[in-house]
Each structure stands twice: as structure tokens, then as C-alpha cells.
Amino acid sequence: MQLRRVCYTDGMDTTFIEELRAIVGDDGLRVTDAQKHVYAFDAYTLEKSLPGVVALPRSAEEVAAVARLCHRRGVSMVPRGAGTGLAGGTLTHDNQVMVCLSRMNRILDIDLPNERMRAQAGAININLTKAVAPDGYLYAPDPSSQGACTLGGNIANNSGGPHTLKYGVTVNHILAVQVVLPDGEIVELSQDDHGYDLVGMIVGSEGTLGIVTEATVRVVRAPEAIRTLLAVCHSVDDATNLVSAIIGAGIVPAALEMMDQTILEAVERTYHFGFPTEAGAVLIIEVDGPEVGIDRQTERIEAICRDGGALRVSVAADAEERAKLWMARKKSIGTIGRLAPSCMTQDGVAPRTKLPAILREVGEIAAKYDLRIANVFHAGDGNLHPCVLFDERDPEEVKRVLAAGGDILRACVREGGTLTGEHGIGIEKQEFLGLIFSPDDLDTMAAIRSVFNPDGLLNPGKLFPAGGTCCPQLPRTDNEALLVMTHTHATAV
């Protein structure tokens, strides 16, 4: 793999590296290019850079010591969990230290009487649920990447998932966090505390306010009964109209997801589930709750789907069939490799009633730029994920991809929506913030950042517009910034 350095410096000096080594130990340091290649990008693959050094601490105290060292030496840090982020939030330049929490992955305490659990930031999302599942509980936020992504990354991005439609996103489940501030201070913040909601500030701050080392999360009781429906629709238009109809009827299912024909084709080529690939789109609709009411809820939704012109509606017969549907949904983005070498997933949001219009526009944008766009998304909360298929090795095509991405975001904003529902701004969408926020809004956010991160040493150059606060230029079309890569569909998942 060949990398052009984005921001070349002489690299990190050896005494600094040795001081780091004294903190995290030999096995906690990645210094050679070969070791660092794995950390050169996350699931946003259009920009890559080798970190100066990667530190893998094992405790909050080690994170704090690293932060104190960096603070003293004026070196900036970038936190990383599993590197599944889709907005480039972990991109680390060669004059920066990547602090990777993946070895801090323990579940620390389970307190079911208070419906909470404490874990280290590097704990993998699915392991939270696994830890309490035997007692009939679960950790509700379930990003499709849950087999790999970490609690710390979930907190930093305020991640969602199919079931956050009913249960709420990460921020609704984080009760307390332990955070290392950029100067190395360890501070405990809790929602039980009086005062400003600093937990609410840390969640979604994309690693720009503090490094999360531990968190207390809420766990919820697993539902007694679950019904999962598959509604097959003639077209995307029909499917999105159904979404509006279901929500409009005052039904908020546990999950309401849409997959279009292109994504179905990719899933089918990989898994051979027997999905109707001739369908324009399918909806996966799940309801859960006490056994006694579940069938009437299911029937109501079935009726709405039939009245709304669904070609076919079926209810998963058993747990196995349900698992298959969710596997198809959750692994679907991973199957896109079958269709194209590269894929860029957008994350715009539109008001739910605007879904039919916005997806028509996405189709028009695809045609305009002569690109293929697959749609698989959290339809129930209006959170689009148009996956733009392309080949990263074709610089001309990359330009069209970026332009199409920009058009999609602008369309979402025009419809009253926003830039990102769960993936974050990172480096990917930083130049678009001006579409949503005024200079005064951004100035306020910068002021908030300065409260936690006064010297800008933590994850600099992310989340905020890099050049000026307004005028969204076309996104990162700058070829200099795009690294020359050989084949890289690989995400870090």
C-alpha cells in the first residue's frame, strides 16, 4: 500500500516515543509503518494518513498519562475505538498520536436492580448485550457494526441503529462517563449530578472534548414478544409512502428499515437468502412488547401495508427467519463489495413525510452523475444511507461521487432535514456545516470546545469547518487531499 502523506512533518522525535513507551509499554505502541497501516483510515476510505504513533493504553491512568505527556509537548491526540466510523473521525496525521482504546474492553459492573452497567470505552457494543442477555436484558443501541464498534466510538458519534427508533439513540442510554480531558485530568460526569448536562455534551462530540475511558449505560428488559414483518413493494416510492403511513397512523415500531433493489441484489449475491430481487424495495418492520398485544399491532401494520399497495407482507415465522432478515439488513453494506470496489455511505436526514420526495431526488442525482446508488436505511426516523458505488482508483469518478454526496446533503437540508443522523461530521462533512449553522452557531460550538479542549490538542481539524465557517465548497474535491491508493474496498470492520 502506498500512501502520500497529507501533512508531512519530521515525525515524532525519539525521546517523545520513549516517554510514551514508558507509559503504555512496548506492546502498547505501534511505531513502524507496517504496524501503522491498519490505523491509516477508518470506514471512510477517501482520505488516509499514517499516524505518527499509535498508543494502546490499558487503563484510564495510562490514557491520562499519555494526555499529560502530549499536553506538555504540545502534540495533538486522536482517539480511536474500532475504526468503523464512516466520517473519517479517526484520521491521524504523522505529527499526531492516535490513542486507541481497543484494549480497554472490560465490562466492569452489572447492576440490574438499577438497570445499569459499567464498561470500559473499548468494550465492543455487542458484548454489552451479551453480558446481560442471560438475565433478560439488553443494551438497546444496535448499530449495524455492533460486532466490531466500541462503546467509546458509539458515545463519540452518538450512534444509532435499527432499534433506536423505539428505544432512543446512544445519548438516551448513557448515564455517566469517565473522561480524560486533553490536559490529562480524569473527570467523572453523571446524569445524576446537579448542574449542566455535561454527559449530553460529551455524547456526540466526536472525540473533540475528551477521551471517554469508561461509561455507565442503561440496560432495558428484553421484550417478551417480537414480530418481524417483511413488506415487499413495487417501488421505492411505494415503500417510503408506507413509512409515512405507518408513522402517520401513530405507530412507532421498534424498527422500520428500508432496502432497495440494488442493495437486495448485493445481499442476494452474497447470502442467497431468497429475497425477491425483482422488488423495487422492501421494508423490514419490527414491533415488540408484551405478548398479549403484539398480534393486533402486527395486524394493524399489515393492513396499512396492504392498503398502501405492498405486493406482499409476511411475518417471520420463527427466530431463525427473523435472524436471517436482520443479518441481511445489518450485513448489507458489507455486501456492496459484490457490486463495486468502493462505496461511500451518506447519512443525511429528512423529515419522515419527505422521504418519498427525497429518495426521488437521490435517484435523479444518481442519474445526473451517472452513478449507481444503493439505499439501505433507517426509514422510520428519516435517516437516509444512500451508498454511492464507485471505484476509488478512478479520480474522475471520485469527483462525481463527492459532488453527488454534496447534492444529496443539500437536498436533505432543503427538505428541512440535516447532514448526519448518526455517522457524525468528522472530516467528511465539515465543509457543509454552513448549510445548517450560522457563524454565531459555530462560534458557540467552538466556545464549548474551548471549555473542554482549550488548546485544541484533541482531535483537531474535525467536526468544525476547516476553512472559514460558511460557503460550502464542493466537498474535498481537492486531489491533493485524496490519497493514491491501490484497491481498498476494505473497511476496518
Partner 1 sequence: MDYAALLGAEPGEAVQPTTVEEITAVIARADAEGKSVIPWGGGTAQDYGYLPRRCDILLDLSRLSRIIAHEPGDMTVTVEAGATLAQVQQTLAQHGQFLPLDPPDADKATIGGILATNAFGPSRPGYGTARDWLIGLKVVDAKGRVVKGGGKVVKNVTGYDLPKLHVGALGTLGVIVEATFKLAPLPEASETLSYQFAAPADSTGFLSSVHATLSPTRMILLDAAATPEQAVSAENIVFVTFEGQREVVGSAAARARDRLDAGSSASAPLPPEFASGLTDFPTDASPPVMLRLSGCASGVYERHEGMRQSGCKSVRSLPSAGVTDVAVRADEDAESVTARVIQWAKEHETPIALLKAPASLRRNNEVWWPLPPGFALMRRMKETLDPNGTLNPGRFIGKL
Ligand X SMILES: Cc1cc2nc3c(=O)[nH]c(=O)nc-3n(C[C@H](O)[C@H](O)[C@H](O)COP(=O)(O)OP(=O)(O)OC[C@H]3O[C@@H](n4cnc5c(N)ncnc54)[C@H](O)[C@@H]3O)c2cc1C
The option from ligand X, partner 1, none interacting with 168 (CB < 5 to 8 A, set by class) reads: partner 1
Min separation Cβ 411 and ligand X, Å: 21
Based on the shown chain and the rule CB under 6 A, indicate whether residue 375 belongs to the binding site for ligand X: no
Based on the shown chain and the rule CB under 8 A, indicate whether residue 108 belongs to the binding site for partner 1: no
Based on the shown chain and the rule CB under 6 A, indicate whether residue 78 belongs to the binding site for ligand X: yes
Judged by CB under 6 A, the residue of 333, 365, 373, 413 near ligand X is 333
Q: How far apart are the first and last CA of the chain?
A: 18
The option from ligand X, partner 1, none interacting with 433 (CB < 5 to 8 A, set by class) reads: partner 1
Q: How far is CA 327 from CA 41, 147, 154, 157, 335, in A?
A: 26, 12, 20, 23, 11
Q: Give per-residue burial for 123-154: e unless 16+ CB within 10 Å, then b.
A: bbbbbbbebbeeeebbbbbbbbbbebbbbbbb
Judged by CB under 8 A, the residue of 189, 267, 343, 362 near partner 1 is 189
- Radius of gyration of the chain measured on its C-alpha atoms: 22
Comparison of 194 and 272: residue with beta carbon closer to partner 1: 194
- Which amino acid belongs to residue 461? G
Comparison of 110 and 442: residue with beta carbon closer to partner 1: 442
Min separation Cβ 122 and partner 1, Å: 21
Comparison of 155 and 305: residue with beta carbon closer to ligand X: 155
Instruction: Count residues binding partner 1 (CB under 8 A).
Output: 77
Of 238-297, which residues contact ligand X (CB under 6 A)? none
Cell reading at 126? 455487542
Min separation Cβ 204 and partner 1, Å: 5
Query: Do 459 and 87 meet the contact criterion of CB atoms below 8 Å apart?
Result: no
Of 321-380, which residues contact partner 1 (CB under 8 A)? 349-353, 378
Distance of CA 247 to the CA centre of its chain: 24
For residues 131 and 153, what is the distance between their CA atoms, to the nearest angstrom? 19
| Cβ-based neighbours of 390, under 8 Å, separated by 6 or more | 340, 341, 342, 343, 344, 371, 397, 398, 400, 401
| Binding region for ligand X (CB under 6 A) out of 81-89, 256-264, 275-283, 473-481 | 81-89
> Binding residues for ligand X, per CB under 6 A?
42-43, 78-86, 89-90, 101, 121, 143-145, 149-150, 152-154, 156-157, 159-161, 206-207, 211-212, 333-334, 422-423, 426, 459, 491, 493
